[in-house]
């Protein structure tokens, strides 16, 4: 029975056309965006998962930038440590040459001082983006952001790689602030040959030559851990300032240092040398050479924050004894620089490995997210062709269904 009030065929054809148009719109949207889930309306669960993964991928890209920055900083530090190693090796060659008696040690000392200045320049300039891992300013370690960790409950934390620094600085040496020289009335010609900023150098003449070496409080306040040393010939006596020394109210620190140095020098057992503490002038030590040869006396001061190459400033090959002492010291300095280079190289390898892992992890997460939300464009293309044909047929069917009531009119003619 045909009804002019309700055209059921037309309604069926219309619903079919709407369904086809909806599917066609969805397919066209998939092709336009390249995704099958572009909003929460498409698939709420998959969309939510994809957004979490997308945020993590953004985070890992930030991690990768941090690792790249850390690797670049370590590259600069490693290059600096390797350069210091090469310069110290060159210095060793100079020191070995100074062991020969028939050489101009003063000229060799000039070369040694130039190499030392070069080392200090390398250490001072070895910074990347303001961070220097070899001059002691970065502390004992620094951290490189290395990972973003999400647990099963959705809690997110970060983890870092702890990288050891290596202080290759020569520290702060200001011998002139600590030592001073006053020739005593009984002196027979003892002279101070050099009082540069690094080392106090004095020659104590033979046969009764005596001299007073004063210990002063210095331009800056003493600190626990500061050390004062005096080298006489090829033997060295040292005194390290303690917290009790600094806190003492009965004696000045310079008095305590002078007494400590006297005891340390006496323990060396140097023949024909007498060192007396001058009680009338606290802080003064009276050196008397009763032997038949001149004695070289050098004094050094190192602050508590001096670097691993702190003793580099004490190397002086201008005398035979100094050259012999320097030969023993340089081996330790070279090994320190080698250890620093190896440490930075190992740390750089760790950061590089982590960077490669994060890069691969980011790619894997992007692939996984793509499998959830990316549209199958080959399938979408085929589906588009089919839906366009269906749309044309549905439109034709709706047109035919709409013409059915017209057939009723022919019955009334």
Task: Name the band, by pLDDT with cuts 50, 70 and 90, for residue 347.
Answer: very high
Task: Name the band, by pLDDT with cuts 50, 70 and 90, for residue 345.
Answer: very high
Task: Name the band, by pLDDT with cuts 50, 70 and 90, for residue 368.
Answer: confident
Is the pLDDT reported for residue 90 higher than 50?
yes
Give the pLDDT mean for 319-332: 87
Domain locations along the chain: 47-170+338-365, 175-305
Task: Name the band, by pLDDT with cuts 50, 70 and 90, for residue 252.
Answer: confident
SS3 content of the chain, % helix, strand, coil (to 5): 55, 20, 30
Is the pLDDT reported for residue 218 higher than 60?
no
Contact 296, 278 (CB under 8 A): no
Across the beta sheet with 273-278, the strand order is 179-182, 209-215, 284-289, 273-278
Residue range 96-122, pLDDT digits in tens: 999 988 888 889 988 998 898 899 889
The CATH number of the domain covering residues in 47-170+338-365: 1.20.1330.10
Average pLDDT, the chain: 81
Residue range 18-35, pLDDT digits in tens: 888 887 777 777 777 777
Specify the pLDDT at position 67.
Answer: 93
State phi, psi for 192 to the nearest 5 degrees: -90, 115
State phi, psi for 126 to the nearest 5 degrees: -80, 65
Contact 235, 204 (CB under 8 A): no
Q: Is the pTM of this model over 0.75?
A: no
- The DSSP-derived string for 378-396 is HHHHHHHHHHHHHHHHHHH
Task: Name the band, by pLDDT with cuts 50, 70 and 90, for residue 209.
Answer: low
Is the pLDDT reported for residue 408 higher than 50?
yes
State phi, psi for 213 to the nearest 5 degrees: -110, 115
- CA-wise closest residue to 298 among 369, 216, 213, 410: 213
């Amino acid at each position: 029975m045909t009804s002019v009030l309700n055209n059921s065929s037309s309604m069926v054809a219309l619903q079919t056309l709407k369904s086809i148009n909806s599917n066609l719109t969805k397919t066209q949207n998939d092709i336009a965006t390249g995704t099958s889930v572009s909003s929460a309306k498409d698939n709420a669960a998959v969309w939510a998962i994809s957004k979490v993964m997308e945020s993590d991928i953004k985070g890992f890209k930030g991690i990768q930038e941090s690792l790249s920055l850390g690797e670049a900083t370590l590259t600069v530090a490693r290059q600096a440590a390797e350069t210091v190693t090469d310069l110290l090796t060159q210095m060793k060659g100079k020191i070995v040459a100074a062991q020969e008696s028939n050489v101009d040690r003063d000229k060799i000392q000039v070369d040694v001082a130039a190499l030392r200045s070069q080392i200090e320049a390398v250490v001072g300039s070895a910074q990347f983006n303001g961070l220097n891992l070899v001059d002691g300013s970065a502390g004992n370690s620094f951290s490189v952001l290395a990972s973003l960790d999400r647990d099963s409950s959705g809690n997110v934390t970060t983890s870092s790689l702890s990288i050891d620094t290596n202080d290759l600085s020569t520290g702060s040496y200001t011998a002139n602030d600590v030592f001073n020289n006053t020739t005593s009335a009984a002196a027979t010609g003892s002279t101070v040959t050099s009082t540069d900023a690094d080392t106090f150098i004095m020659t104590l003449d033979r046969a009764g030559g005596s001299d007073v070496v004063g210990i002063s409080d210095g331009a800056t306040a003493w600190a626990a851990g500061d050390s004062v040393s005096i080298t006489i010939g090829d033997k060295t006596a040292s005194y390290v300032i303690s917290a009790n020394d600094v806190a003492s109210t009965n004696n000045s620190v310079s008095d305590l240092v002078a007494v400590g140095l006297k005891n340390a020098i006496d323990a060396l057992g140097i023949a024909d040398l007498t060192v007396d503490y001058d009680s009338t002038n606290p802080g003064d030590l009276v050196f008397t050479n009763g032997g038949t040869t001149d004695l070289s006396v050098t004094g050094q001061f190192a602050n508590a924050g001096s670097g691993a190459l702190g003793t580099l400033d004490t190397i002086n090959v201008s005398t035979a004894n100094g050259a012999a002492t320097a030969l023993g010291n340089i081996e330790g300095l070279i090994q320190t620089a080698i250890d620093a280079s190896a440490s930075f190289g190992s740390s750089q390898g760790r950061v590089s490995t982590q960077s490669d892992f994060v890069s691969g992890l980011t790619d894997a997460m992007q692939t996984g997210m793509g499998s959830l939300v990316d549209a199958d464009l080959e399938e979408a293309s085929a589906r588009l062709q089919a839906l366009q044909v269906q749309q044309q047929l549905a439109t034709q069917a709706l047109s035919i269904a709409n013409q059915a009531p017209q057939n009723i009119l022919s019955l009334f003619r």
